[in-house]
Amino acid sequence: MEDIIGTYEEREWEVLDEGTYEAELIDIEKRTITIYDNGEEEERDILNWIFDIDGNHVRGTTSTIISTRSKAGRWCEALLQRKLEDGEVIKKSDLTGKKALVYVIVKQGKTADIQFNNVKDVMPLPKKKGKK
């Protein structure tokens, strides 16, 4: 019996221009990565945030630390459109489906012919002005 590892699939994606876009958070994946520093190996948990911009999925990565100084904390506040309370527990379901402005950059892949987008920052949507 053969040990099949997968099927090759040609993948294409649209690379968005660098800039700010309105986006909807569609998922947050918690992953563990291995960091190598001065010959030492350390495992760290990260959050992989997946946003939808007109059918294009763009990703951004943060630590799992949610505080006023952390990127994850700022992104939660932007999506929730409010400051977080001390001790507040944030669930993925609190954030998915929410919209915000995302600043997207273009990154170079490992080879010269590959480019992809990355979310650099997340900001709250502008508040809508009330009717007079």
> What pLDDT sits at residue 75?
97
Name the token pair of 15: 């690379």
Q: Distance (Å, rounded) from C-alpha 51 to C-alpha 16? A: 13
Q: Distance (Å, rounded) from C-alpha 44 to C-alpha 78? A: 24
Name the token pair of 105: 């950059």
> What pLDDT sits at residue 130?
67
Instruction: Please check whether residue 66 is in contact with residue 83, taking contact to mean a CB–CB distance below 8 angstroms.
Output: no
> What pLDDT sits at residue 12?
67
> What pLDDT sits at residue 47?
97
Question: What are the sequence ranges of the domains in the chain?
Answer: 19-123
> What pLDDT sits at residue 6?
82
- Report the CATH fold assignment for 19-123: OB fold (Dihydrolipoamide Acetyltransferase, E2P) (2.40.50)
Along the chain (132 residues), what's the average pLDDT of each consecutive run of 10 residues?
76 84 97 90 95 95 94 97 95 97 90 84 89 52
Residue 132, classified by CB atoms within 10 Å of its CB into exposed (0-12), middle (13-18) or buried (19+), is exposed
> What pLDDT sits at residue 90?
96
> What pLDDT sits at residue 128?
79
